Structure 1
Amino acid sequence: MERTMGALAAHNHRRPVVALVCALVLSVVGLLSARHLSLNANLVSLLPDSFESVQAIHSLEERFGAQGWVVVVGEDADPAQLQRFADDVAPKLEALPGIRYVEITRPSSFFRSHALYFLSPEDLKEVERRIDARLTWERQRANPLFVSLDDAPAPSLDFSDIEKKYDGGAVTRLSSHPSDYYLDPSARRVVVLAKPETSSADLTFSRNIVGEVQAVLKQQDLAKYGPGFHTEITGSFQKKMDQQAQITRDVAVSSTVATVLVLLYLVLHFRSALSVGLVLAPVGAGLAWTYGLVAVAYGQVNLLTAFLGAILGGLGVEHGIHLLGRYLALRGEGRSSEEATREAFTHTGGAALVSALVAALTFFVLGTSQLRAFREFGVIAGVGMLVLILAYVVVLPAVLGLVSRWGWRPRASSTETTEAPLGRVITHRRGLLTVVSVLVVAGLLTQLPRLRFDYDIGSLQDQRLDSFVLDRAVNQLIGYSQVPLVVLTNSRGEEAAVVQQLQARKQQRGADSTVDFVAALASIVPDRQLEKQAILKDIGKLLKGVPEGQLTPQQRQQLAELRGQVEAKPFTEADLPSSVRQQFEGRGGPGTGFVLVYPSADQSDGQAMRRLAKEVRGVVLPDGRAAVVAGEAMVQADIFDTVAHEAPFILLGSTLTVLLAMWVTLGGLRTALLCLMPTVVSLFAVLGLMPLLHMEFNYLNILVIPVLIGTTVDAGVHLITRLASPSSDFVRVYSETGKAICGGLLTSAVGFGALLLADHPGLNSIGALANVGFGMNLLIMLVTFPALLLVLSERKRRHRAVSTRPRGEHLMREGQGPQRPTPSH
């Protein structure tokens, strides 16, 4: 492989025009393909379509339509004006072609007036009995001829034990708010809920529908609702748009900053504008080729692969630093340009190829993940690493050949290797540095039990965005989640069975349940209403005899409400308020069935969503089939479970793949283990350092571990292969290779470090953890590993000296005196 790389580089050096034309054509084709790439930040797209939760989401969208709302919030006005605004804007929003319906009022009044129909006939009979007993007792006490033979207390009219039986039910939760509007007088805020036709996953539709809502609001004379009145938009659709805009902005900023920082470092490293161009030209070509392939294979980038340009750029520049640095050193020794090119690509290029293959294999192991974001990241990064090496073999020798024809020669300052003072320090203090390093790493390992995993979904979605903050306030105002889980059913019988099972599970789990309440038309329209109506008429007759003069004002108000409730008529689905009925009607109309499961836990709590998924999954329909449960919470739970299941296998697979690849390419297990040792030690040191830095793993930054395994191992490869030469001088090799290693790790860190500028917390955590990893690896590669190599080589020399020493001399040193040598000696 080394000879082939050297020969190919020399060929391109001799025929630079052909090589550069081929590279240019491929780059143009790649850029033309890549211009159609789009960003998909949808949470559902992180999982493959084969997952049950993803299939359920698609079924839900077909039958139910969009989940979530476009939420219009009116703020800073008195309650009367807030209600007026809601009444004015609702019909205009409902007239939009992409809006199915609009909600501005709660069903509280309807359910309060019909509350007694949701009691069982037996409980209604008990209510009637208690009222009758109390009235009998009151009449007896009012009779002057009545003489009580005991001091028994008055029969209780406390119905809390009956009410408790129905607490937590859908009707109780839907009727618990005193206001009919979604209004908070203290916050001076009103909410208008608009239900779109299409899912928020369709970003084009989301932009259009939110734009249409904004246009309606701009047409309103908002000043008539008060001097400070204003509107905001939140909900699932606005949140998706804001998240998309944030990630797009983060990509632009991070890539720009990474490019600028790499340029600055290369200028400081080579102190030559041409050298900077020589390093960056292959990187630019390789990225154009890579993203052209991405456009053909995937057509879009996700939350992670959107940033691969900055990451691959930093990793690619590392190869350029090693290759060009070796070329310049060889030119300083008097080699011709073609000879220096052949030699640099034969040995340093061979090491670069080994490291690229190892990194690519590590990424490909990550590409076996079922999580689409990880899989695409692994595949694209692995292909990108190989493409970048190809770009360097094609472009760099050709450009070197071209500029050498034009008479360019490196300046003497760029070809001279300055002796690094640290090399002399390591040589003289190798034992002390090794012992100190061992103690430091051992101390860090004691912190491993404190390592934690952050289950907050905030690593996948930035909860600090204005629309996310306002959305949480809206949830509190409404009193329950805007985005419930949906169980798909086909009949009222199936709805009733699902509701019964879920309520039984909720009751069984008690305070540990993650379900707030369950709602379905089968549970909202009670049965046996005619039987209950007859009991209510009897209760109504009793209530007419209650002496109001003896009641307090509060009791008289309760009596009036109770008299209204017993006079309520039976009702059907058609009599339900439209705000309730529409929630259970899919695109096929009232015939389709849905059971809404409202979570009690925060949907950004990953652990709670995993418990919720376990609580609602496995519900059995009357025919024995498992019910389909759909919702983003189910997708989140699958993402969490997938990462938790795959992480150990990916970590082990990455390590074994790297070791096997290095064993094959370097020709020996001992050499492979030696090259891998700095990476393994630095990783364990990073894991121990994380608790001290208050850093935690999350569902995004955990991919940094296999990435670090694949991208930091090349430093050990370069150092070991250079020191393998019998005539190598440690200080000289350390000074030359250490400078390249330092530059390579720094530019790699820049690629990931650009994510530190991202506003997205998950991407920010990737940048932070990667830079801690690169920093630790740099420290071990520049201090610990060279000192250990010197200690090991010194022990090896002593062992050889003892084994080759004459036997008599060996025995004399052991104090046994000389012996006469024999012929065999």
Structure 2
Amino acid sequence: MLQELSPMQKRFDALTCFVIKRPIAVFLIAVLLGGFGVWRAGELKISQDLKKLIPDDYPSVVQLEKLSERVGSQSEFIIEIRSPNRDANIKYGTQIAEKLRIMDNAFQFVEFRREVDWFSDNALLFVPVYKLLDLRRQVIAKIRKEVSSEVVETIDDETPKPTEQNEQSEVEDPWELDDETIKKRYGRAYDVPQEYIETDDGEVLVVRGRPIKGTTDVAFTNQIMKRVRTLLKEQQPSNFHPEMIVAIRGEYEERSGQVASIKDELLGSSLYALAMLLVVLGIHFKRLRAIPLILLPLILSILTTVGVTTLLFNELNLVTAFIFVVLLGLGIDFGIHILARYEYERLRGASQEEAIRITGAVTGLDVSMGALTTVAMFSLFPIADFRGFSQFGKVACIGVSLALIFNLMVLPALIILIERVRAWQPRQWLKMESSDAPPSQRRGLAATMVVLSILLAAFSLWKAPAINFEYDFTKLGRISEKSAAKGPDKQDYADAIGRPDYGPAMALADTADDGRRLEDILRGLRLMTDDQIEQWTGRTLSSDELKKNNPDPELLAKLAASILDDPDADEDDEDDDPFAKRYEDPFKSLIEEVVAKKLEPETQRVVEKFSKDELFNMRYLVWKHLSLWSFVPSRQKEKLRIIKDMKRRVDAKFGDFSDESKNKVKRLRRYLKVKQAVSMEGVPVWVRNRWTDSEGIYGRHAILWNRGAKADYNDAKRLYEYLFTVDVGSKQKHEVKLAANYFVLPEIMDTLMRDGPRVLGAAMIAIFLCLMIMFRSLRLVILILVPLTTAVAWLAGLFWLLEWKLNLYNVITFSLIVGMGVDDGIHMVSRWLEDGCSSVDKTVRETGSAVFLTTLTTCIGFGGLLFARHVGLNTLGWTAAVGMMLCLIASMTTLPALLILLGKKKD
């Protein structure tokens, strides 16, 4: 056998002879390299940040970096304080807030108690003009009622009639005005923050802070979680109230839990896989030495890969994080084929040296050809912009190459060293008899098998276009366990801060003026009614697009009627009334403008600036917004005139009110004291602090809460198209870009869809060319590719049948399936050629058993993920296991059937 080696096989034989002469040196060098990997392993970090999957110069990534530099983290650290005693909650919260503010390198600011008088003092300036006019109408009507005959009032008071009209009048009583009434009656244009962030029942209070770093910094997240937990424990909540419960909530707590859960899942699956591998290898080879012979070179190669990877990359992205699982599957393939061939050669009577040399020269070449095609495939991955491919490809090339080298050199060295301690003993049960079936019967069965395989593959490919991609990332996270129900009346921190139904984005303007212009645009969109958007865009709103913010028709009718009514007329004593003279209402033109549903000035500018399509989508997608400029109300000049008019009327008639009315009207008079317009400098300091960037400039950014499922590609893409860039310039173009993690998703998916076919096509061409160079026969190359192409086609059919979807996790397993499929084909065809193209039984019996074992062990490696509580990991495990089993089935059925049909022909 050794005398019949080809020139290439002789080179591998020379390498094997080198190992035979120096087994101890080879093993020690491998251990040192593995030790280097262990030493460097602590430096390897895994980033779950999606923006790491695309280049740094992509617009969404640039904006996130800009946001980080200018504003810092926008994630909030939340501490929930719960007890039946509100005073105890406040006392504990005050103490915790003070401790957090002085914590080193932790928080930008901490928020607990807030000064809110400024908002109440200027409340009416935040009310829309048409609602302020309606309030004026109510005030005039109320004054007339108050100055009417005391006898009539007395009768009315003594004989109240609980009619619907009286109830409505009570609701609209302008004397009964307070912060909550203004908020309820006049909508979101006015929103006074509470003094404390708490639930309605006062049982839950929140301390809220903004850390100096975001949740993407896993080390910082874990560190601050640990520090705050220690602080909360030291403060002993039970000393404030025996039933007090304090817990960390929000994004930092969630991210810490996510990282821990993925680590637990991977650790658990790894331990499971290791235990199963030990059992399977021991049973198959029927000797314990098979376990270290296969696993030790593999583990040392993976550790060395870790060490080399840390020298090239600071961290691995979300896709590359699973490279070591892939290397486990590919690497163990090499070891099993080499050890299985060695076992068969010894069983045939070869000596140790002869068996090692034959294995190294023949099977070593076959393994190397499989590795070469795999490396050729992965070497093309870096051409992609999608870093999930490019970084994965680089690490895979290193890992596969090292796995090959370690199996070619370390495994033979270990065989020699172990057999010096304990000699090899044959396993007689390996011998199998060949099939006694007549050739004609075998060929008929083979033809049937080939036809069935082709039909099944054709049907699967026909259904392949129906396979969908999972664009909703919320469906790929950890499977949440149902917790105990809170109960319908029990509230938590989310009720206190407002449930985050709409994910925020941060708009970053270059100047404060651009920030003000953006506010005008967003305010104009908000003030646009449903009727106006339909009128100006020519599109009918669907039920989910309706904001239901059209002015109340009844309110408009009352305002219209008030134009015909002299507001200064009095039913009594015109001579004594300083307002008795009849004048035209000074606000007549303003009221007519409102009744005619004329566009607000900001809305008019928006309509003129944007196209109908942009206008429609922007208005729907922006649920609400907030910036420092939001605290500077619009149309203050008109509003101050209306407020001044109401104040004049109330002050003039105050002496005619009853004592009860005088006490009530004090609430309204407080809101009517405002005399001057609000300026940026007049906004409370604590508010300005929240809107001041790292350069000490305020007014350059805004927060937008947008509609749509942000983890769904389709919704995120719509947001990206219409909101990522907003032109705020009037004559010249001034762009304001938004920053949000969900803007990364469309760029990731678009890059993946663009790079995927390109990389896959290039990889398949590279594999084909490598095989042509190695075998120099188109027919042989086609035979080698049969397991791969057949298995992929069948897998597509299973995806359709089981309604599975491709996703960002399971798509990486296709590289492993390609590697395994090509490798299986190379080993089967090479062994068939080695036996003179005449013994398919022997090929299936010897090489097929090794192919079976490599598939089984690789499936075991992914087996732990099959039961993971993380959906993404679960789909990764199932796709890999099913795909590799299909490769095995094709290698053991379709390919042997073709070999039987071609067996009589010379190759």
For the aligned pair, the TM-score class normalised by the smaller chain equals 0.7 to 0.9
Q: CA deviation at 1:78?
A: 5.3
Matches within 5 A, 1:199-278: 199-223=214-238, 226-278=241-293
Q: Does 1:674 align with 2:682?
A: no
Matches within 5 A, 1:462-611: 462=478, 464=480, 474-475=493-494, 477-479=496-498, 481=500, 484-502=504-522, 508-509=615-616, 513-526=620-633, 529=636, 532-543=639-650, 563-570=669-676, 571-577=678-684, 580-591=687-698, 593-611=700-718
Q: Does 1:10 align with 2:116?
A: no
Matches within 5 A, 1:318-357: 318-357=333-372
* Structure 1 pair 667–174 and aligned structure 2 pair: CA distance change class (3 A): farther
Q: CA deviation at 1:531?
A: 5.5
CA shift digits 1:173-217 (9 cap, x unpaired): 485589654333479533221112233333333333323322332
Residue equivalent to 2:69: 62
Q: Give 1:668's aligned amino acid.
A: S
Aligned partner of residue 711 in structure 2, secondary structure: coil
Matches within 5 A, 1:16-27: 16-27=23-34
Aligned partner of residue 486 in structure 1, secondary structure: strand
Tell me if the contact between 1:71 and 1:192 (Cα under 8 Å) persists in the aligned partners. Answer: yes
Tell me if the contact between 1:99 and 1:194 (Cα under 8 Å) persists in the aligned partners. Answer: yes
Distance 1:603 1:515 in 2: 13
Q: Give 2:504's aligned amino acid.
A: P
* Structure 1 pair 600–81 and aligned structure 2 pair: CA distance change class (3 A): farther
* Pairing partner for 2:812 from 695, 703, 707: 703
Residue equivalent to 1:184: 199
Moved more, 368-377 or 55-64: 368-377
Tell me if the contact between 2:80 and 2:206 (Cα under 8 Å) persists in the aligned partners. Answer: yes
* Structure 1 pair 385–675 and aligned structure 2 pair: CA distance change class (3 A): same
Residue equivalent to 1:364: 379
* Structure 1 pair 723–547 and aligned structure 2 pair: CA distance change class (3 A): farther
Moved more, 254-263 or 731-740: 254-263
Q: Does 1:752 align with 2:862?
A: yes
* Structure 1 pair 109–430 and aligned structure 2 pair: CA distance change class (3 A): farther
Residue equivalent to 1:803: none
Q: Give 1:253's aligned amino acid.
A: G
Tell me if the contact between 2:120 and 2:192 (Cα under 8 Å) persists in the aligned partners. Answer: no
Q: Does 1:386 align with 2:438?
A: no
Residue equivalent to 2:802: 693
Q: CA deviation at 1:496?
A: 1.8
Tell me if the contact between 2:443 and 2:901 (Cα under 8 Å) persists in the aligned partners. Answer: no
Q: Give 1:433's aligned amino acid.
A: M
Residue equivalent to 1:298: 313
Distance 2:187 2:757 in 1: 46
Q: CA deviation at 1:266?
A: 0.9
* Pairing partner for 1:38 from 45, 51, 73: 45
Distance 1:401 1:191 in 2: 67
* Structure 1 pair 621–243 and aligned structure 2 pair: CA distance change class (3 A): same
Q: Does 1:433 align with 2:449?
A: yes
* Structure 1 pair 21–189 and aligned structure 2 pair: CA distance change class (3 A): same
Q: CA deviation at 1:392?
A: 1.4
Q: CA deviation at 1:649?
A: 2.2
Aligned partner of residue 376 in structure 1, secondary structure: helix
Residue equivalent to 1:95: 102
CA shift digits 1:258-306 (9 cap, x unpaired): 2222221111110111233222232122112211211211143443444
Q: Give 1:763's aligned amino acid.
A: L
Distance 2:348 2:793 in 1: 40
* Structure 1 pair 220–23 and aligned structure 2 pair: CA distance change class (3 A): closer
Per the normalisation by structure 2, the TM-score is 0.76
Q: CA deviation at 1:252?
A: 2.5
Q: CA deviation at 1:235?
A: 2.5
Distance 2:226 2:797 in 1: 49
Tell me if the contact between 1:108 and 1:175 (Cα under 8 Å) persists in the aligned partners. Answer: no
Distance 1:422 1:740 in 2: 24
Distance 1:420 1:106 in 2: 86
Q: Give 1:434's aligned amino acid.
A: V
Unaligned runs of 5+ in 1: 145-152, 160-166, 801-825
Aligned partner of residue 454 in structure 1, secondary structure: coil
Residue equivalent to 2:301: 286
* Structure 1 pair 222–419 and aligned structure 2 pair: CA distance change class (3 A): farther
Q: CA deviation at 1:384?
A: 0.7
* Pairing partner for 2:766 from 649, 657, 660: 657
Distance 2:435 2:315 in 1: 46
Distance 1:235 1:132 in 2: 45
Distance 1:550 1:426 in 2: 110
Aligned partner of residue 727 in structure 2, secondary structure: coil
* Structure 1 pair 223–31 and aligned structure 2 pair: CA distance change class (3 A): closer
Tell me if the contact between 1:99 and 1:197 (Cα under 8 Å) persists in the aligned partners. Answer: yes
* Structure 1 pair 187–759 and aligned structure 2 pair: CA distance change class (3 A): farther
Unaligned runs of 5+ in 2: 1-7, 152-164, 173-181, 529-614
* Structure 1 pair 722–338 and aligned structure 2 pair: CA distance change class (3 A): same
CA shift digits 1:751-798 (9 cap, x unpaired): 23333354433222211211121122222222233224334557x69x
Residue equivalent to 1:52: 59
Tell me if the contact between 1:363 and 1:710 (Cα under 8 Å) persists in the aligned partners. Answer: no
Distance 1:525 1:683 in 2: 61
Q: Give 2:753's aligned amino acid.
A: A
Per the normalisation by structure 1, the TM-score is 0.83
Aligned partner of residue 698 in structure 1, secondary structure: coil
Aligned partner of residue 513 in structure 1, secondary structure: helix
Tell me if the contact between 1:708 and 1:770 (Cα under 8 Å) persists in the aligned partners. Answer: yes
Tell me if the contact between 1:113 and 1:564 (Cα under 8 Å) persists in the aligned partners. Answer: yes
Tell me if the contact between 1:223 and 1:229 (Cα under 8 Å) persists in the aligned partners. Answer: yes
Identity of aligned residues (%): 25
* Structure 1 pair 573–80 and aligned structure 2 pair: CA distance change class (3 A): farther
Aligned partner of residue 183 in structure 1, secondary structure: coil
* Structure 1 pair 175–404 and aligned structure 2 pair: CA distance change class (3 A): same
Tell me if the contact between 1:722 and 1:733 (Cα under 8 Å) persists in the aligned partners. Answer: yes
* Structure 1 pair 50–340 and aligned structure 2 pair: CA distance change class (3 A): same
* Structure 1 pair 57–240 and aligned structure 2 pair: CA distance change class (3 A): same
Q: Does 1:613 align with 2:759?
A: no
Aligned partner of residue 199 in structure 1, secondary structure: coil
Q: CA deviation at 1:716?
A: 1.1
* Pairing partner for 1:734 from 841, 844, 855: 844
Residue equivalent to 2:112: 104
Tell me if the contact between 1:93 and 1:99 (Cα under 8 Å) persists in the aligned partners. Answer: yes
Tell me if the contact between 2:20 and 2:416 (Cα under 8 Å) persists in the aligned partners. Answer: yes
Q: Give 2:464's aligned amino acid.
A: L
Q: Give 2:10's aligned amino acid.
A: R
Q: CA deviation at 1:688?
A: 1.9
Residue equivalent to 1:398: 413
Tell me if the contact between 1:423 and 1:731 (Cα under 8 Å) persists in the aligned partners. Answer: no
Q: CA deviation at 1:511?
A: 9.2
Aligned partner of residue 294 in structure 1, secondary structure: helix
CA shift digits 1:519-539 (9 cap, x unpaired): 221232125645532331102
Aligned partner of residue 74 in structure 2, secondary structure: coil
Q: Give 1:116's aligned amino acid.
A: L
Distance 2:200 2:816 in 1: 52
Aligned partner of residue 207 in structure 2, secondary structure: strand
Q: Give 2:498's aligned amino acid.
A: G
Distance 1:221 1:563 in 2: 46
Aligned partner of residue 248 in structure 2, secondary structure: strand
- When the two structures are aligned, how many residues end up with a matched partner? 776
